[in-house]
Structure formats: structure tokens, C-alpha cells
Structure 1
Amino acid sequence: MKILITGAGGFVGQLLAEYLLNDNHTVVLADIFEPPIPAAASNKQNAIPIKADLYESPSAVLSKDLDAMYVFHGIMSAGSEENLELGYRVNLQSTINFLDAIRATLPGVRFIYASSTAIFGQPLPEVPSEETVPTPQGSYGTQKAMIEYIVNDYNRRGYINAFTLRFPTISVRPGKPTQAASSWMSGIIREPLQGKESVLPCDGDFKAWLCSPKTLIRNLKHALTLDGNSLPPHIRQVLLPGITSTVKDMLDALRAVGGEDAVKLVKREKPSPEIKAMLDSWPTTFDISKALSLGFVADQNFKGAVEDFAESLKKQ
């Protein structure tokens, strides 16, 4: 298959591109800068990096021979809250421009959109599901919810063959901290396992909805195989499986893998009122029966994600 990834310079885009190239797909990597070809990928000759601004030139990344696309580009939660104009330009307006370019160039292409559980805000039922009405309490979640409705409409009209995947927080992410309000959920593992201090802005009983990178990639690849009729034409959202972990669970996993010295590198700090309100508004568990019925999978526990990251450090 020939597959496009937007936002391909980011962590998820790079990791997915690596796996798709290893599976011998042709992968178009698009971003606002020319994205690198993943160093660990085989079949690098099948990678096509493209520098493009999807707001200004959405057609620059499209060709009629594309079989599918993953839409990952965006300004993350804290970044969208800090810069209203930039968040709406990148997360909303550029995606609308991109959808219209698709409609004109290759209608019916498989369109896998990365949404987020940030579309939910309080008040919420005890266990939200796809039937729960989004009430976002941040600009990022608002922008994602707006695109979800547009994706549903374009799918209903036959312009795209869409699957909207609502991501849990992905942990443990390698690399540098991001602009996500949830960035610390990786940082309190990633930095201490490399001998560095990390900031923890929440108490031990704070709960989060998490998914490991390995499981996320498995589920993203599964989305390529789903029957287009497996969801109603006007309801294309799926809550990807996650697990609920408390901060105590995360630190216990860090202790089990990295020892007490690693835990001592985690420093507690109060978050800003804006970030605290955003974190407290996010749900901590979901009804994932729909995703499981479609063949998506869940992690067993958070410790596995920590062990995966520690193993990746050894390989480096």
C-alpha cells in the first residue's frame, strides 16, 4: 500500500512510519518541516519525505495512488490553550483545507484521524463511551470535536472512508517533553530512567487513561484492515483501548524497573490553575467494548510500557 502520514515528524508518526516501512509499504512522510526517515526502518527507499503546510498547500502531499492516510498533525493540548490562533489554524482550519483537497483529488480514500479523549469534559457519566456527548473544557478538545463531526459528514457523503480514533495518553513516549498537558505522564518515567530529574504536577491518587506506544501502533495498523461498513456512515468514532493508572501505579512501575534512585528523581510541583483544570476535566476510564468488538487490543498493565521503554534505552 501507499500510505500518507501527516505530522510524520512527531513521535507517533515516526514510530508508525518505521513499522509500515518494515512491512514493505510505501510511506509518504509529511510535516511542516521535512521529516526524517526513521533510522531503525528497513526499506528506506520506500519513504517519501515532504515538507508542506497543510493550511496553505494541502494538495502538496496528495497523489491519486494513495491507498490510505493517517492524520496526526496538530498543536497539542497545552500549546493550543496557550496560543488560540495557532491551535485553530493547525488543528481545525488546516484539517478542513486538507479534507477539501482530498475530496477534489481522491474521494473515498481511507482516512484515519487521530482524535483524543480531550474532547470530553465534566460532567460525565462514571464510564463514558462513544455515545457520551463531547463537552470539551479546552481549545484542543474543542478543535478535535469539531473535526470529528466534519469527518462524519464527509464519510456519510462518500468523500472519505473514515475512522476516527480517540487516543488515550501515550506513555512512555521517548524523546523530549511535548506541549501536551499530559507530557509529564511520560516524563516521570523517561527522564528518571536516564538519570534526569522530572516534574510531577499531581498527587499520588490522580488517575490517567494510558496506552503504551507498542499497543498504539498495533491498533493503528489494525485500522488499515477494518471493513468500511463496520461502523455507521455518520458515526465513525472509536475509543481506542487504554488502562487506568494512578500516579502511584506509575511510580511503583518506575521503582520496579529503575529502582528507588529513579523514583527520587521525580520532583513534585504545583501545576498552573489552567493546566490543573484541564487535567482534572479528563475522564479516567472508558467503555471500550466497541473497540474490542472491532479487534482493537489493550495493554495488560503500565509496568509493561515502562519495561518496553527501558529495553529501548538498552538498544540505543
Structure 2
Amino acid sequence: MISRNRTLIEGFRLIGVSDVPELQVVISLLILLIYLISLVGNLTLLLLVGLDVHLHTPMYFFLSNLSVIDISSSTTALHKIFAIALTQNNMVSTSACLTQLYIFGTLTINEISILATMSFDRYVAICRPLHYHTVMSRRLCVLLAVLSWPFAFLELLPTIVLVSRFTCYISKEIDHYFCDLLPLRDITCSDTSLLDLYIEIFGNIFVFTLLFLTIIPYVFIILSILRISSSVGRHKTFYTCSSHIMVVMLFYSSLILQYIVAILGKNIGSNKMLSLFNTAIVPMMNPLIYSLKNKDVKSALQRKLKW
């Protein structure tokens, strides 16, 4: 049996996206390009929603929140890749590592909450159109968006407290490009049973409850669409929520695949690739999906470009 050397660590060394220096630079440049496209896309969407009065609706209010979360989460997760490529310094202190883990985890939980809220918004718009402005009032929208932040912070707090209590590690190298929970847990020699129990019970219950709350509105939406006699009407109604369906599928497919890979105990390389998809590709795709498939956004963009 391999002996586990117990080592107290004040900081960690991030391996990055690749352990080959030449390959690391090439991949970092590609990720930087994706990040810049994501940044421009999300900032453009935020400006359009802020400047165009036609987009001052609950749907685009929540979409703005999603853009803020996407910018924040991709910046939080990817900034160390660029720092390593520029300075060759891949060290991170324990406090900085825990802070990054906390912020990124909070943003992920917040994104799950916002996607569920957007599903409810689409349900009210399609299935209860006459009551839409009454139900989705400005006060309720602001309340839902604001409450998702403390809720996310509190939900993740026990995880951070348990991780901060790790007293020893097998190694100070984290085979990842940021301080993610599973790679950090894999290198500790402290007892992780309480952390695993919390993740299994509360983490999974939370994620799958919000997934359920995201899917259920679309069950009612589909039933409502099927009752429409006109094929043109069915297509038009489905088109209004197709962008959100694509965003939800994109986000949850990567999240569930990461979960399955972790359960199956596959190599960390697979998990890193899925993490890159979740932290780089998904934030880039979200504004593109809403821009290319949404007539309101395209019309607003045309109006501002003419102006």
C-alpha cells in the first residue's frame, strides 16, 4: 500500500490546463480568445438591455443577471490560466484558493437559480399571458434576483468551512487550472466523510430540485403549445422560449457530465475538459444563442447600430 505523507500546506501549485509548457501556452491563447468573445458578447447584451426600452422586460432583466454571472464565473475560473501563461507563476495561497472556490461555487449556484427563475418567467408568459405583468412585477423580479445571492452564499458556506478544516495534504499540486472542489478533495489526507455526506445530501438535493423546477414549467409550456390548433401559432410560441431551452440544455449537460465523470472516477483530464467547456464555452455561447435566435435582441442591435 502506498504511504500517504501528511504535509501541512500554506499554498498550492496549479498544474494548469496542460503539464506540457508549450501546449499550455497554445491552449491559454485559445482560451483567451474564447474569453474575449464571451466578454464582448455578454457586455454587448448588457448594454442593449440597459439602453433599449423595448428590452426593459422581466425576461431581459434576468438575462442581464445571467450575463453578469457568466462574466464573473469565467473571469474567476480562467484568470489564473492567463497569469500562469504570462508570469509562469502557478502558485496560489490557501486563502486565495478557498476564496476562488467560494466565489466560483456561489456563482454556479446563482446561475442555476436564475435559469429556474427564467423558466418560471417563460411559463407565465406563455401559459398565463393575461396575468404576466401582474405576476412578474418589477418588485418580484428584483426580489428573486437579489435573494438568489445570499441563498447561494449560505448554501455553499458549509462546504467552504469543511474544506478549510482540512489539516493535511498528500501533495501541494492541484491537477487543475483553478481551485475546484473535487481536485482539492482528492489531494487531502484529512477525513472527507462529512464533506461527502453534505455534498451527497444537500448539494444533490439542491441541484436536482432546481433542475426539477427548471424542467416542470416547460412540461406545462409544451402541453400548452400542443393545444394550439395553428401550426404557425405553435411554432411562434415555441420560438419564444427556444433560446432559454438551449441555454438550459447547454449548462446542465456539462454539469451532469462532470458529475458522472466524478462518480465514475475517470481521470482528471476528462474533468478539466468538461470544466473548460462549462467555464469558457458556455458563457461564450449564451449571448450568441440569445442574439442569433431572438428577434427582439436582433432588432435592438439593428436600432442601436443605425443610431
Q: What TM-score bracket applies, with the shorter chain setting the length?
A: under 0.3
Relative contact order (C-alpha < 8 Å, sep 6+): which is higher? 2
Larger fraction in helix? 2
Compute the TM-score of the two structures, normalised by the length of structure 1.
Answer: 0.26
Flag the structure with higher strand content: 1
